[in-house]
Amino acid sequence: MSMLHPPRFELQAHEGNRLRLASSTNAAIELFVLEEDIIRVLVLPQGDLRGPATWSIAPGGDDTPLEGRDRRDLAGFSLPAFQLLSDADTLRVETSKIRLSVALAGGFCTWQIRRAGEWQTVLNDRPTQAYNFCYWDEQVYHYVRREPGEMYFGLGERAGDMNRAHQRYEMRNIDAMGYSARTTDPLYKHIPFYVTWQPENSTGFGLFYDTLSDCSFDMGRELDNYHGLYRYFVAPHGDLDYYFIASPDTPLDATRRFTWMTGRPAWMPKWGLGYSGSTMTYTDAPDAQEQMAEFIKGCREHDILCDSFHLSSGYTSIGPKRYVFNWNTDKFPDARGFVQSYLDAGIRLCPNIKPCLLRDHPKFEEAKEAGLLICDAKGEPAWVQFWDEVGAYLDFTNPKTLDWWKANVKSALLEYGMASTWNDNNEFEVWTPDAFAHGFGKKAPIREAKVLHTMLMMRASREAQLEFAPQRRPFLVSRSGGVGMQRYVQTWSGDNYTSWETLRYNLKMGLGLALSGVSNIGHDIGGFAGPAPSQELLVRWVAFGVFMPRFSIHSWNDDKTVNEPWMYPQVTSQIASLIKLRYRLIPYLYELLWQSTQAYEPVLRPTFAEFPNDRRCYAECDDMMLGASLLVAPTVEEGQTERTVYLPAGARWVSYWSGGAFEGGQTITLPSPWDQPVMLIREGGVIALNVAEQHFDQRADQRGFLVVPMQGVGEAVGGCIEDDGETEAWRNGEQGRWSVRAVSDAEAITLHVSREGKMPTHADTVEIHLPAGDARQVQTPRARVLATDVAGGWRRLKLQLLA
């Protein structure tokens, strides 16, 4: 086909909400009007699909079919009515929120969003060679025009600044141990979705490229005089299949819709929000069982609250190498007793499992004979480098492999009393074209869909847990992943390097993941690889980590030291205090995860996502919002005792520690002691708390709420979800809710506090904390005030609810 004459398209078919444009060269473009705010474009240079099914699209659902979802399946979308207009040059599709104009000569697209009653152009295909209609090679390309001042956010887990403009990123999942959180690329995850935002107009959109192939995004780093300013997506395999999501008011609109479209985030057990201990050092030791017992003693001695421990792969070792599903009985002479000892201490174990069998694995021949491995064209194992040996990956597109995997998860782990699975080293680094997967009966080179195996591995682990204990909510962790991973797992940012720079950029990395639909996230606190953290760095990292949904201190330090809460006696009490702050905030975090599961709300968010009209919020910073109500400003520089933070305009802010109030739209400097990270509650915000005193051997749960009433007339509204925290009974309505509403005017604050639904325990008392500087009269029409006092800048009221 000549580039001089791009294909000319005509409307060939109109079947419901699917339109097909075809050309005399057999090239086709299919349009799918899925929602008022979502339109999909499928570009087919040869007229038909080249790639496999999709495992990404599960609108509002829990999962896709195991064999994948047909790419033309429209189930789950509302398929709204739309207008279709055309003339000799253009075909136009219009919903209430999106107007798409397709130039029939070449198929070039122009996208407009309706905002304030006006159509606003937000995206244009590059006018020169936007698509590859087999012009150059077999790869998939999409070139779009880049407008001055545009900002780009998302693309999952990426190093560097939040704004991806002028950078290039590669999605090719690899084991990037010791990475630089500022510069290393690629990393562990494959999420080809990002939000384009135009601060001048406070509007934007999301683009999701539904591909399982490795791919790259150039966000304006490349410059070519022949084409003007542009950015582009390229993938060596599959199809150009992309979704446009209107996001007219805040970048969160696109994030919510993308999350909804790719599947409901898993509702995990509450204990997954507690502190999780972990280190490779314990299980690598010859006396691993004794070392692990010392951890419990340390928690008890130093009063460190702890709910789980991530059991590193040393428990599977034979010599220096690791063999999934193998127990080293020299290190763990009483494995079942060891697991039970942790359960007796209230700590669940999360064992590490890996998807590659080394060539001398005790089960290797069994797996090979059963056809469970990725193989070459001759049927021999497709050898890969894996740790200190070569091996072969398991083929998770083979139903027999899925059954084998689930059986081993149950027999080697769950039957021992393990509570979860830690799916690790699952990047599936296969580079040769001569390595094939079963493909559910459609044999294909694995390199065309490596991330699919990552996803199916975690899915199989989850199914094993559900089959073993159907009434228990599964808890899973995975290092690698792709689009839809939120349906199965909690994740973290991989094997980070110990440095102040990592602390700063891990914060941005977490925000990028949250804007890409993955909210149940965290980092290896203290740094995984490299030198031991200084005591100041460790404390500051803990002071940041307590706000992440995943809170785990983990390490494999070069000098064989262990990142433990008590590794520096001088600061152990401060770390213990910070961990207790974490447990105080768990009801708020649990509510945020519930809102993620039910309303697709990101748990973490940059300040500009909440305040898109405040231009100062777009500057790179080290702040973040935890939910809509809590602004967190961790200290990420060595030697700092104060923290300067910009308060977004449009709200007043109240310090968690002092109760002092500050007007938004200004930069302030606050003290930042090691054990008191800067935290500010937004006016109108309600933060759920556990106000009970807690110790390692003494757990309690008593509900309280920090409430920042509106200064004038208005309402502060919030609450939190309540259930047993562990079972699936919530699906049957076994769940309750606290609701808090503070209605205020110039003279008074009226508190309305209620319980609804089936609460896990009876409780008719609750604490309400109001800023002590607010002298207005407080009224409680449906509650009796049992006690009141003032401490730390807050006025505390203990209320008893009236029947």
Asked if residue 65 has a cis previous peptide bond (ω within 30° of 0), the answer is: no
Structure tokens at 443: 């044999």
The order of strands in the sheet holding 28-35 is 10-15, 18-22, 28-35, 38-44, 240-247, 203-209, 193-198, 151-154
pLDDT at position 6, please?
82
Pair 430, 446: CB distance under 8 Å:
yes
d(Cα 462, Cα 420) in Å, to the nearest integer? Answer: 9
Domains of the chain in sequence order:
10-262 (2.60.40.1760), 604-679 (2.60.40.1180), 686-801 (2.60.40.1180)
d(Cα 64, Cα 55) in Å, to the nearest integer? Answer: 6
pLDDT at position 135, please?
83
pLDDT at position 1, please?
45
Pair 565, 279: CB distance under 8 Å:
no
d(Cα 714, Cα 705) in Å, to the nearest integer? Answer: 18
pLDDT at position 419, please?
87
d(Cα 56, Cα 54) in Å, to the nearest integer? Answer: 5
What are residue 403's DSSP bridge partners? none
Query: How far does Cα 31 stand from its chain's mean position?
Result: 29
In Å, what is the CA distance from 750 to each residue of 200, 737, 779, 797? Answer: 40, 20, 5, 13
C-beta neighbour count of 173 within 10 angstroms: 23
b/e sequence 47-86, b meaning 16+ C-beta within 10 Å? eebebbbbbbbbbebebbeeebbebeebebbeeeebeeee
What are residue 140's DSSP bridge partners? 235
Residues 6 or more apart in contact with residue 512 via CB below 8 angstroms: 153, 154, 155, 156, 157, 158, 162
Q: Tokens 């999409």 belong to which residue?
A: 142
Q: What is the pTM of this model?
A: 0.97
pLDDT at position 3, please?
54
d(Cα 426, Cα 445) in Å, to the nearest integer? Answer: 17
Residues 6 or more apart in contact with residue 732 via CB below 8 angstroms: none
pLDDT at position 4, please?
61
* Phi, psi dihedrals of residue 334, rounded to the nearest 5°: -135, 75
Rounded mean pLDDT for each run of 10 residues along the chain, 803 residues in total: 74 97 96 98 96 97 97 98 97 98 97 95 96 91 97 98 98 97 98 97 96 98 96 98 97 98 98 97 96 98 98 96 97 98 98 98 97 97 93 98 98 96 98 97 96 98 98 98 98 98 98 98 97 98 98 94 97 98 98 98 98 96 98 98 97 97 98 98 98 95 98 97 98 97 97 96 95 96 96 96 90
Structure tokens at 685: 């915000």
Closest by CA to 181, choosing from 403, 484, 430, 504, is: 504
